[in-house]
Structure 1
Amino acid sequence: MDHRKKLLHTARMPIRWGDMDAYGHVNNTVYFRYMEQARVEWLEQEQVVVRPGGDGPVIINTACTFLRPMTYPGTVEVRTYVGAVGRSSCQTYVDLLVDGELYAEGSAKVVWMDTRTGKSVPLPDHVRAALEAE
Structure 2
Amino acid sequence: MPDPLYTARIPVRWGDQDALGHVNNTVYLRYVEQARIEFLESLADEGWPGAPDTGPILAAAELQFRRPIHYPATVVVNVFSAGPGRTSFPLDSVLTVEGDEETVYADVKATLVWVDSRTGRPTPLPDVIRDALDGQ
Q: CA deviation at 1:6?
A: 6.1
* Cα separation, 2, equivalents of 1:85 and 1:126: 11
| In 1, Cα distance between equivalents of 2:3 and 2:54 | 24
Measured in 2, the distance between the counterparts of 1:6 and 1:81 equals 8
Task: Provide the C-alpha distance between the structure 2 equivalents of 1:70 and 1:28, rounded to a whole number of angstroms.
Answer: 10
User: Counterpart of 1:103 in structure 2: which amino acid?
Assistant: Y
Contact 1:82–1:131 under 8 Å retained in 2: yes
Q: What is the CA RMSD across the aligned residues, in angstroms?
A: 1.5
Aligned residues: 129
Assess, with a 3 A threshold, how the Cα gap between structure 1 residues 126 and 84 changes in structure 2: closer, same or farther.
closer
So what's the TM-score if we normalise by structure 1?
Answer: 0.90
* Structure 2 partner of 1:127: 129
Structure 2 stretches lacking a partner, 5+ long: none
Unaligned runs of 5+ in 1: none
1:64 aligns with 2:66: no
Match of 1:29 in 2: 26
Aligned residue identity for 2:110: A
Runs ≥4 residues deviating over 2 A:
none
Q: Identity rate of aligned residues, in percent?
A: 47
Q: Which residue identity lines up with residue 60 of structure 1 in the other structure? A: A
- Residue 65 of structure 1 deviates from its aligned partner by 0.5
